[in-house]
Structure formats: structure tokens, C-alpha cells
Amino acid sequence: MATEIILPKIFRELSYSSIAEQDTSIVISNMSDKIFAVDKYDIASSEARALQLYSHLHWGTTGVTNDKLWDTVRWYGESVTDKVNSIVNHKDFLFWAEMRENGFSPSNVEAVYSQRFDNLGVADPTDTNQMQDYWAPGGVGIDLLTYTNSPTSGDWSNLITRYSSETEARKEKNGSVTDFINSGAHEYRNWLAMGYLDAFHRVPEHAYVYGAIIQLELMHLAIRRKAVMFCEPILEGAAWFNYRAGSMQSVRFANPAGTIYKSVLNTVPAEISYRQGIISHEWGEGMTHWGPSSRDTKDIARWVRSHNGGLTTWKTKWKADNSSNIVDYDFNNPTQPARSPGDNPNNYPDPQIIPPSFGGPVISTIHKSLAGRYMASITKSKRNKLFWPSFEWTTKGGTVHHDGYFDGTDPVLGSLGDGSITTLNNRNFGQHNAANQLRYKKPICVWGANGSDKIAHYCNPVAGINEEQEVTIDVSGGPYTFTAVGPNWQVFNL
């Protein structure tokens, strides 16, 4: 009987006061080829301790070499040459950008990447951590390359076809070649995979799990470039007020006595963050967390106003204890709490200003993604490649049988002659099991081995919350059986 690999207790907790940085027994030492760029970590931790867990800390962090730093590059009106010269010139310095969003023309944005690549003096973009603008209207931003929701009935053959060859993988749904290739951007940079989560009524949870895998596989089939998942610890869904407005969170002040209420976007659920951490490390080259670029603290004097989607008055409120009225926060009113010195009233807070203690939910979300990175580090030592296995499962106490795939228990094999997943260094054309599992709402199940060690990942995104599934996989040395519960991602020693 297989046994589940259980995360350390500190990873299973969601308490703001219990995070992995504070448990020095938690070290991730074998993931130097995978990115985990974090912009928010515990203020009690040293940079040296943080780098035992994360790959990159935010640019400007003192005492950290350039190869362990990242930045979001913005445009402030410079020329292309001046912009290039302002970016750290180190191949392992990680950066993505919002230059196009800041008004720089698409051609100039790409010129920055191209010229900087030439300056680095390397032969291949995969030798760098140069990424892309995450949003570039009219330019070359993040290409989804796939479906984050279920395709319509007429799209399935198109999706399967895109797994068949490099030429097909480079196509968008409408048949045109993706801008990343067509523009030549692939010659000097890598690309980001979409990890933002929209409102759940637009992208059901289960569709995102399958879609994340499909996206990364198709990106690697299209061209051998790093694909790093670009994530946000909050839900930034458009077109639904509840997700755009977030929820009001509060912090108490003693002098003056009262409560500040701030609009904070809803955080990504812990289990989804955990899945992102695993998927991005097993199928991709890791992940980034985009958000307030700072460490966290409980120092109340360092609070800043809500800049959720921009500094709008209604997003920060004040209620004095001696009043029944809740009013808009006014930083010029001496009867209300003073702002942090770095909270510019006309702009976003300085990225190095430390948010208030109710940044804790964001910390918890990043913490769960880190748990995914930690789990991937465990499985990395126990397997070489990962493969889709022959498998089946039963529910309802063994009375209802399910084949692992829509047409039986065996996976689709690819051009490599096996069911191995597609990654940067393992391009297995024709292996499209993830697409089939999405269409027929079947589980994600992959396994791997290294000598006598064998592990299996299992996630049935459409299972009932407490639904028991007796899973049997028929692989070398098996068959092996394990019990999975609910829709959560679980990992087993075989």
C-alpha cells in the first residue's frame, strides 16, 4: 500500500505567525534550476534565511548579490539605451516588466529586451532569467496559448492537434502564429505563463488546474524557452464587483483610538496556491509572486492606505471610537492616524515600505505556494521524469469503478514512445493526456522513479470535498494502490 507524503506541520497551518521562514529546519536545497521569486517575506527573517527557501528577492534588498535579485522594470520616459543601462546586467538577474503599461511603445519595449540580451553575451535566452512584459496591449504580453476554461465542443480537435508538432504548438486558437514567435521575441527572451486567477464564475477551479498544465506543455512544445508562472497572491478578476472591490479588513489604533478599514483584494485559496506551486515546478521553471514589493511586519506605524487597483478615496475608511460614523480616510486630518512616511498621497506607496499586519493573508497564500515548491523538491530526489501511468480508481466504497482515461486505463503515448510529461528538456509531441483529462473531467495522475524510490502525484479537481478514491496505478514494480480524499493535490510514496 502506498503512503501519502505529508507536509511538515508548519506548511499545513495558515496562521500568519507560523510561516516556514521561522522554522530553520525547512530548507530547499535542490531547486537551483527552478525560480521562486517572492516580493513579501517575514521581517523577522534575514535575507540569508529567505534565500534558503526562495530563489530571488526584490531588487534593492541589501546584502544580496545580483543573481539572487529580481525587479519589475518600469518606464519613466527614458530612451531605449538609457532604459537598458538602468537594468542590472547579469544573466541570472530575474526581471519582467510593465514598460508597455507605462506608455513605452511596443517596438521600444522589445528593443530593450533585445539590446539587453546582446549586452549579456550569452548564446541562448534559456541561459538568462530575462522574461517579458506581463501585460502589453498592442505588444507582446503574456500569451495564454491555451484554454483556462473548457473549450467549446468544436475546439477539442484543435487543442489535440496543437500537441502534434512544434508548428502546431505555436498557433493560437484562431490558427495564427503566437506573437512570441511571430515577432521574433523568442530570439532574446523567455516567457511568462499565466498564473493570475480571475473570478471563479469565469474560470472554474477545475478548469484552471488542467489549463495550467496544458499551457506549460504547449509553451515548451512551441519552443525550448523557460516558462515561469506569473502569479498573484490575490484574486484580480475583472467584471465582477466583489472580486474587483475585495473585502474590507481592519486594524486597530490606540492613539487616536479607532479603526482603519482597508479594501483588500481577496486572497487566492490556499489549496489553489499549493497546486500552483507544484505545477509550476514540475511542468515549468517555477513561479513568481507579484504584489507589494516588501517584507511584512506587525509594526502599526508602518501601515499604508489601500492601493488596491489605485489610490481611490473610498478604499480606506476611518471610524473613531467616539463616533458612530465611518468616513473616508483623510491623511490631512490630524484626528486620524498618520500615514507611513513612504505613503505618497499622490502615488502608490514606495515599494520598499512595509505593509501592515493585515498583509498576513497574502503571506499565507505565498506560504502555500512555497509548500508546493517544497513538495516538488522532495519528489525531485525521488524521480527522474514524470509519466502518465496506466491507472483506475473506485468510489463509494469500491462499488463504482472508473477508468483513468476516457477510453480505458492506458495513457496516450507521445513521440518519445512513452507517456512522459512535456517539460523544458523533455518535449514529448503528441502526448496530450492533460487535454483529454480536462475534456472528460478525469484526474491528474503522474508518477516517477529514481532507483528504488517511486512517487505519484494525484489530483481529481472535480471530486467531492470528502470523496474517497481508491486509486490503482500499474507501473514498474506495481500495481500500487493508494487512497486519495477530495479534490486536493496529494503526493504518495509507492
Residue 81: exposed, middle, or buried by beta-carbon count in 10 A (0-12, 13-18, 19+)?
exposed
Region 320-336 average pLDDT: 92
Per-residue pLDDT of 133-152, as tens digits, reads: 988 888 887 765 554 455 55
Region 294-300 average pLDDT: 53
Per-residue pLDDT of 258-284, as tens digits, reads: 998 887 767 777 888 899 999 999 999
pLDDT of residue 465: 92
Region 451-474 average pLDDT: 96
pLDDT of residue 227: 96
Region 193-221 average pLDDT: 80
Query: Can you say how many angstroms the Cα of residue 55 is from the centroid of all Cα atoms in its chain?
Result: 14
Residue 63 β-bridge partners: none
Q: Is the distance from CB of 442 to CB of 469 less than 8 angstroms?
A: no
- Interatomic CA distance for residues 480 and 484, integer angstroms: 13
- Residue 41 grid cell: 517575506
Percentage of the chain with pLDDT > 70?
81
pLDDT of residue 358: 40
Q: Is the distance from CB of 296 to CB of 363 less than 8 angstroms?
A: yes
Per-residue pLDDT of 11-44, as tens digits, reads: 887 554 456 777 888 989 899 999 999 876 655 5
Per-residue pLDDT of 390-436, as tens digits, reads: 999 999 888 999 999 999 999 999 999 999 999 999 999 999 999 99
- Interatomic CA distance for residues 201 and 179, integer angstroms: 29
Region 203-226 average pLDDT: 87
Query: Can you say how many angstroms the Cα of residue 386 is from the centroid of all Cα atoms in its chain?
Result: 20
- Residue 417 grid cell: 514512445
Per-residue pLDDT of 79-98, as tens digits, reads: 999 999 999 999 999 999 99
- Interatomic CA distance for residues 410 and 419, integer angstroms: 9
Write b or e for each residue in 296-319: b if 16 or more Cβ atoms lie within 10 A of its Cβ, otherwise e. bbbeeebbbbbbbeebeeebbbbe
Residue 287 β-bridge partners: 36, 229
pTM over 0.85: yes
pLDDT of residue 56: 93
Per-residue pLDDT of 329-380, as tens digits, reads: 988 899 998 876 656 655 444 333 334 334 455 666 788 899 999 999 999 9
pLDDT of residue 173: 75
Instruction: Report the mean per-residue pLDDT for the chain.
Output: 85
Q: Is the distance from CB of 270 to CB of 14 less than 8 angstroms?
A: yes
